[in-house]
Structure 1
Amino acid sequence: MDYAAFLAAKRRADPPTGLTDLPPLAEALFPFQADIVRWALRRGRAGVFAGTGLGKTLIELAWGDAIARATGGMVLHLAPLAVAAQVIREADKFDVPARQVREQSECGPGINVTNYQKLGHFDLGRFVAVVLDESSILKSATGHYRTHLIQACATIPYRLAATATPAPNDFMELGNHAEFLGAMSYTDMLATFFTHDGSETQKWRLKGHAEAAFWRWLASFCVMLRQPSDLGYEDGAYRLPPLHQVQHTVRAEHDPAATGTLFPMEARTMRERLTARRDTVAERVALAASITPPDRPFVWWCNLNAESEGLARAIPGAVEIRGSDDEDEKERKILDFVEGRSLHLVTKASICGYGLNFQHCADTGFVGLNDSWEQVYQSVRRFWRFGQTQPVTAHFIAAETEGAVVANLKRKEADAERMASAMVAHMADLGAAAIRGAERDRPVYAPAQALSLPAWIGDAA
């Protein structure tokens, strides 16, 4: 073996294991979506990290339908709670056959849609393919769903993971996606491309000499884009309207004798932050209620139960979606809001902040904040997404003592933007070559008539 062959043998890349003969795809797909589906079908096991509103649900459905038609087997499409019904509505809209199921006995050939909470009711070994909608559920290295999905899906030949936020704060979530997709284990990824950052063994950074190799490896089984132009397509209707973020600060009651300080101090520790939130619930709820427009849709996101209960009482006709509501009740309340039977929704990001489409509403707000930038990002993106025709306004209400929380979210937003920009910059050319290099629909040019040049051209020559 010569040296070039030796180096080629050491190159890290996940080889395609998918379909070679692709069936026709849904006509509703935009060109960039159709090319991503074709690429993912050839890959067999692929990650699609596409910004919110870029049609991930349609991509997932088209991919699953093609696999089902090619193999005649069952596809399991997993989605967050209350999103499964929306996936079915999307399937009906685009004429893709799919059924919503609650347990294994209800499954059949084709696409079977359920939510992650029902995962234990299914034998994943009986499916030829699995689709993870909002696959950021894999982020926790010790999470229950992460471990179960990686182990149970290890022998499933076709796997698709799709999310808008694959790694909002660090690279570790990419390792979980790689392990789920069978490209490399989480620990092998760390050992191959990363090194400990000083003495903190939980912090890793890319090895300087491995950076280019890491992005090439990632692009061999994942594609990332925030808008179609990241892969060389026209953005067209994917240009979003303006987003306005408005911060409101509530003054906190302060007793110098009790605290020993002349002025209120910003919360620093997690315990101090929680105390600051609990002490100002009434003031923040009152301000939120005064902001709520009486004649147009509005969604308030809460962090504490006391905030949710207070807003439901303070806003006439507001519908509260609680974690204790059963699944059917959650879906009924969401559908009532989407179809205009209710105007004001009060809920938590952990319940309705992922996967749902609320483009009919252009106003939202957070009466309570926590330290999860991803929850804030995902919640705002329920409104600020493809299909939204109005400028979107997001209100943020925090006590003056919660300054550390607001600052933390801003820092995480900046970190996430830097990482997303870096990922897109490194993967754009690689992704464009892989995606646009896939077979595309092109008119066949087969000239059958000879061309005759005018005499004056020949004379000029």
Structure 2
Amino acid sequence: MTNYENFLARKAIIDPPTGLDDIPVLPDVLFPFQRDIVRWALKRGRAALFAGTGLGKSLMELSWAQTVNRATGKDVLHLAPLAVSNQMAREADKFGITARVVRSQEDCGAGTNITNYQKLEHFDLSQFGGVILDESSILKSTTGHYRNELIKACKDIPFRLAATATPAPNDFMELGNHAEFLGIMSYTDMLATFFAHDNGDTQKWRLKGHAENDFWKWMASWSVMMRKPSDIGYDDGAYILPPLEQIHHVVRSSASHEGLFRDGVATLQQRIAARRDTVTDRVAHAVSLTPTDRPFVWWCNLNAESEALAKAIPDAVEIRGSDKNAERKLIDFSEGRIRVLVTKPSICGFGMNWQHCADTGFVGLNDSFEQVYQAVRRFWRFGQSKPVMAHFIAADTEGAVVANLKRKESDADRMAAAMILHTADISTRNVRGQVRDKPNYDPKQPMKIPSWLGVAA
């Protein structure tokens, strides 16, 4: 390939498939939509699954990894959040897929090796033919440590799969990070190709109006976006979920506030102070809401909240980030040996399957919509047979926090609807028909060589 041909290849918007041409038999346990998505991802080689919680991303990831190993003879490194690795291994065992939890390169064996992101430095990525990012929203920050380390370490791995339920809840930038990790297009090239500065502010970008269709076509060429199977042309069947009721409780603060604190806080410092000053009132209300006859999970924001709740609820068990027994406690709650769990969304809010529990609550809120979304979806997901009740407790001084979360939820719903609306038809054709996207090139105008070049026509 000439230098000019290399230049043109780098400028191509549609990234060609680089995966398998012949797909081996996939596990029988896959639903039709899951099987077709895995086949599509294997043909692509480098792909993203932006699929809602409960749609079986774990099974699809494990099936993809098993097939990559069988087809290439290369092992796969499966990266997951801290609390999810052992659950992923149990899922693999349940479906008869060979996988193991490992702590370093020395622990690795043939097939799929599961570890958490914090142990990435203990592995030689050149030894793997495939890599999976479970809960790949870890790529969110453009300056984040894991984002940069993962892109650098995985750039030469031929098979890459990223899976998350919540891509870019507020803007498009996380999508660019996924594209760069997968080797589709760099983050900066995505911005230059599809986006423009908003009113001269270099920190804010908006999708160019004339580039909107091309952007979504580009997205659908390397990712599948769905919240339910019918989004890409399949029957929802058992994926129709029971009702979700979100109940907001406003607790009148007994603490003494002045000025803005009486009418509601605005700045981050004021919000933190309001949360600390209202711990006792919010915990007391949370205790009064806790049932005595069924499982419950309380999500906290401050250590003081979790400590107070664990002491006030007789059979509650607390999990902190520094808890060496966290994995055992999570298993005990999942299997019914712990009835009330008290923890933080940042610790246990990602990846866990808790359909046996239908009641949860937030005794403390911060501004992270993603944490709230993920925490609620531990319960409200495929396999849940009961209506889910989610309680949100905030002091009367925290109005700005509640309003901000509602705004982000509305933004996320609009963006998800837009992504699915624009990509559904293309994704349906790609996944169900195994279409290989190619750039549109249909020249109509004959090339004319200028006479001054002195070249005969």
TM-score (normalizing by structure 2): 0.92
CA contact (8 A) 2:369 2:405 kept: yes
Instruction: Tell me which residue corresponds to 1:278.
Output: 276
Structure 1 gaps, min length 5: 1-6, 440-461
Identity of aligned residues (%): 70
Matching residue's letter, 1:33: Q
Instruction: Tell me which residue corresponds to 1:299.
Output: 297
Instruction: Tell me which residue corresponds to 2:178.
Output: 177
Instruction: Tell me which residue corresponds to 1:365.
Output: 361
CA offsets 1:397-443 (integer angstroms, 9 cap, x no match): 0000000000000000000000000000000001000000029xxxx
CA contact (8 A) 2:255 2:278 kept: no
Matching residue's letter, 1:426: H
Secondary structure of the residue that 1:220 maps to in structure 2? helix
Secondary structure of the residue that 1:413 maps to in structure 2? helix
CA offsets 1:30-61 (integer angstroms, 9 cap, x no match): 00000000000000000000000000000000
Q: Does 1:405 align with 2:404?
A: no
Instruction: Tell me which residue corresponds to 2:150.
Output: 149
Over 3 Å counting, the alpha-carbon distance change for 1:9 and 1:156 in structure 2 is closer
CA drift of 1:214 comes to: 0.5
Looking at structure 1, the residues matched to 148 and 42 of structure 2 have their Cα atoms a distance apart, in angstroms, of: 25
CA drift of 1:73 comes to: 1.1
Instruction: Tell me which residue corresponds to 1:65.
Output: 66
CA drift of 1:315 comes to: 0.4
Instruction: Tell me which residue corresponds to 2:80.
Output: 79
CA contact (8 A) 2:352 2:378 kept: yes
Secondary structure of the residue that 1:401 maps to in structure 2? coil
What aligned pairs does 1:21-420 form with structure 2 within 5 A after superposition? 21-253=22-254, 255=256, 259=258, 264-326=262-324, 329-420=325-416
Structure 2 gaps, min length 5: 1-7, 436-457
CA drift of 1:120 comes to: 1.1
CA offsets 1:265-300 (integer angstroms, 9 cap, x no match): 200000111111000000101110111011100000
Instruction: Tell me which residue corresponds to 2:442.
Output: none
Looking at structure 2, the residues matched to 200 and 404 of structure 1 have their Cα atoms a distance apart, in angstroms, of: 25
CA contact (8 A) 2:254 2:281 kept: no
Secondary structure of the residue that 1:201 maps to in structure 2? strand
Question: What's the RMSD between the two structures over aligned residues?
Answer: 1.5
Over 3 Å counting, the alpha-carbon distance change for 1:74 and 1:8 in structure 2 is closer
Looking at structure 2, the residues matched to 268 and 259 of structure 1 have their Cα atoms a distance apart, in angstroms, of: 13
Matching residue's letter, 1:335: I
CA drift of 1:8 comes to: 12
Over 3 Å counting, the alpha-carbon distance change for 1:295 and 1:129 in structure 2 is same
Secondary structure of the residue that 2:225 maps to in structure 1? strand
Looking at structure 2, the residues matched to 366 and 293 of structure 1 have their Cα atoms a distance apart, in angstroms, of: 15
CA contact (8 A) 1:254 1:264 kept: no
Secondary structure of the residue that 1:350 maps to in structure 2? helix
Looking at structure 2, the residues matched to 9 and 266 of structure 1 have their Cα atoms a distance apart, in angstroms, of: 52
TM-score (normalizing by structure 1): 0.91
Looking at structure 2, the residues matched to 177 and 26 of structure 1 have their Cα atoms a distance apart, in angstroms, of: 27
Report the more deviating stretch, 380-389 or 199-208.
Answer: 199-208
Looking at structure 2, the residues matched to 438 and 430 of structure 1 have their Cα atoms a distance apart, in angstroms, of: 11
Secondary structure of the residue that 1:404 maps to in structure 2? helix
CA contact (8 A) 2:368 2:405 kept: yes
What aligned pairs does 1:448-459 form with structure 2 within 5 A after superposition? none
Instruction: Tell me which residue corresponds to 1:451.
Output: none
Instruction: Tell me which residue corresponds to 2:444.
Output: none
Over 3 Å counting, the alpha-carbon distance change for 1:9 and 1:332 in structure 2 is closer
Secondary structure of the residue that 1:160 maps to in structure 2? strand
Looking at structure 1, the residues matched to 22 and 433 of structure 2 have their Cα atoms a distance apart, in angstroms, of: 16
CA contact (8 A) 1:252 1:264 kept: no
CA drift of 1:253 comes to: 2.9
CA contact (8 A) 2:251 2:394 kept: yes
Secondary structure of the residue that 1:81 maps to in structure 2? coil
Matching residue's letter, 2:322: S
CA drift of 1:393 comes to: 0.2
CA drift of 1:72 comes to: 1.0
Matching residue's letter, 1:355: G
* Structure 1 residue runs of 4 or more that deviate by more than 3 Å after TM superposition: 7-11
Instruction: Tell me which residue corresponds to 2:4.
Output: none
Alignment: residue pair count:
428
